[in-house]
Chain A
Amino acid sequence: MIRVRKPGLLTTVQDLGRPGLAHLGVPTAGAADRRALGLANRLVGNPPGAAALEVTLAGPELEWEGHGWVALTGGRVAATLDGRPVPMDVAVPVDAGQVLAVGSVTSGLRAYLAVRGGIDVRPVLGSRSTDTLAPVGPPRLEEGARLPVGDQADGDPYRQVAPTRPVDPEPVLRTVRGPRDDVFTEGALRALIGVAWTVTSDSDRTGVRLDGPALERRRKLELASEGMVEGSLQVPPDGHPILFLANHPTTGGYPVIAVVVDADLPLAAQARPGTRLRFRFVSLAAARSARG
C-alpha cells in the first residue's frame, strides 16, 4: 500500500484507458503521454500498460507501507526520498516508511510515477484510469487515500538511467489534413501550419486549447456530430483549434481540420500553458510510418 500524504495539484491513476467503448459514449482516457507511461513501467519491470500515477504540474507526497521500486519519467520534476534527491528515468528502490515527495514539474506538464507491480485499484470497464471527463474509474488522488500495489511485474527493475530527450520548448507536430479540411479557407490551412500557436491555461486532459489567428470557414456549416480521434484539431466557431488528448469526448459537432500523428501526441501532452506549438502537414503514408 501507498499512503497519500498530499495529493498534488491533479494526480490520477492512468493506464492505457478503455478503447473499444466509444460507441457507448465512454472516452478512452488513459495516460496523456503514453510514451512516458510506457518508459516508467519498463523501468520498474512492469508491462507497458500497467497503471501508474500521472502527475500534473505539482506532485504528490507519498508514504510507502512496504518495500518497492519506483520510476519517474515524462515532464521534468524534482523529487526527494526522505529528503534526498531522486533521479528520473531510472528504477529507484523504496523502503517501508519512506516518503517520496514529488515537487513541481519544471519542464513539460505531466510526470509519470510507475510503481513495480502497478497501482492495483479496481478496474472499471477494463481499465484503472481516472476519467477526468466522465464519472468512470477511480477518483483523483486525495489526502489520506491508500493505493494498493499489484503484482503485475514481469521483468527486473532497470538500474541504469534511460536516455530521454529534453522537452522541446517549441515543438513541431506532424499532422494529416482532414477529415474536414474542405470546410476551411486556403488561408486557414496556411495559417494552421504558418504560425506558432500558444497553449492556453484552460487546457486539460481533454484537449490542448490554442490561441492564434481565427481559422476561417469557407462556408457557414452546421456539422452533424461525428466520432473523434485522439489528435484531432477540432475548430469551434471562434476559430481557435482544440487538440484532443487522451480524455477527449467520443463525438463532437465542430469540424476537424487536421489530425496530429500518434508519435507526436506526447509532445502535445507535455505542452504547458504558454508553450508555442507549430504544425506541419505530412502525407498519410509518412504519418503511418512516423516514429517519435
Chain B
Amino acid sequence: MRLRPAGARALLVEVDELETVHRLHAALRALELPWVVELVPGYRTVLVVADPARAEALEELAAELPTLELPPAEAVAGEPVEIPVSYDGEDLPEVARLTGLDAEEVVRRHTAPEYTVAFLGFSPGFPYLVGLDPALEVPRRDTPRTSIPAGSVGLAGGQTGIYPTASPGGWQLIGRTEVPLFDPDRDPPALLAPGGRLRFTVAR
C-alpha cells in the first residue's frame, strides 16, 4: 500500500489489485468518518478527500490504514446486475469484420463473462468494466460520433461500456439497453456501484 498526498486535503491510497481497491473502498465507507467528503475508487487507487477544516485527520487515517481490516472480496461484490441488450448496434458488422468473428459469436462472447465494475467515471453512472473477452478488442472509431444515444453499449481498446446519457463518443456500438443507468431522482442515482458485477444478456 502506498500513500500519496493529493493536495492539502486528499490522500491517494495506491494498492496492487483492483480487488483490493474495492475491499479498501468498502472498509473506508464502513468507517463512516464524518470528515470524509469523497471516497473515489480508480483502477489501483482509492482517493480520500477530507473536509478542508479537518484535513489533519488524514494523518490519523494514514497511520491506521496499514492495519485496517478489509472485508472479503465476496462480501463486497454483491449480486450481479443483469443488463438486457438489443444487439443491433450500427457497428456490429464492423466489429465482426475487425475481430474475424461472425456477429452471433461477438454477441455470444460479449454475454459470456461476468464483468466487474472497476469504477464509475467519465460521466455520471458510466461504468468502467473489466472482464471483456480479449477476442473482442477493437480500436475506437476513426471519427467519433457527435451524439450517441443513452443506453448504447460499445467496445473500444479492450474495454466495453454503456453510455448512461446521450453524449459524443468514439466507441464501436454493438447494441443498446433500455435499463436506465443513471437517474438523478433515484436513490442511489446510479444503477451500478464500484466493485459490483454485471452480466449482459440478449434482450427479448
Contacts and interface: CB of A to CB of B under 8 A. Distances in A.
B83 to A, nearest CB: 17
Nearest to B119: A251
Contacts of B45: 224, 226-227
Chain A interface size band reads 35 or more
B5 A229 contact: no
A123 to B, nearest CB: 10
A284 B8 contact: yes
Contacts of B41: 23, 227
Q: Which of B37, B41, B121 has the most CB of A within 10 A?
A: B121
B42 A251 contact: yes
Nearest to B48: A227
B38 A176 contact: no
A224 B43 contact: yes
A26 B5 contact: no
A25 B190 contact: yes
Given A23-B194, A24-B124, A251-B121, A178 B6 contact: yes
14 contacts: A21-B189, A23-B193, A24-B188, A176-B7, A226-B43, A227-B12, A227-B41, A229-B7, A232-B6, A249-B121, A251-B122, A259-B6, A262-B52, A288-B56
A98 interface: no
Contact of B119 (A23, A260, A262): A23
A290 B8 CA distance: 9
Given A133-B123, A179-B5, A287-B8, 20 more contacts: A22-B40, A22-B49, A23-B38, A23-B41, A23-B194, A24-B188, A25-B190, A26-B124, A134-B165, A224-B43, A225-B128, A226-B42, A227-B38, A229-B10, A231-B7, A251-B119, A251-B121, A259-B10, A284-B5, A284-B8
A229 B190 contact: no
B32 to A, nearest CB: 12
A28 B174 CA distance: 32
A224 B126 CA distance: 16
Contacts of A134: 123-124, 165
Interface in A14-40: 19-26
B5 A23 contact: no
A98 to B, nearest CB: 35
Q: Which of A124, A249, A250 has the most CB of B within 10 A?
A: A250
Interface of B: 4-10, 12, 25, 37-47, 49, 52, 55-56, 119-126, 128, 165-166, 182, 184, 188-190, 193-194
**Chain A binding site: helix, strand, loop or mixed by DSSP?**
loop
Nearest to B194: A23
A25 B122 contact: yes
A225 B119 contact: yes
A209 to B, nearest CB: 19
Contacts of A102: none
Contact of B7 (A22, A225, A287): A287
Given A25-B121, A226-B45, A232-B6, A179 B12 contact: yes
A288 B8 contact: yes
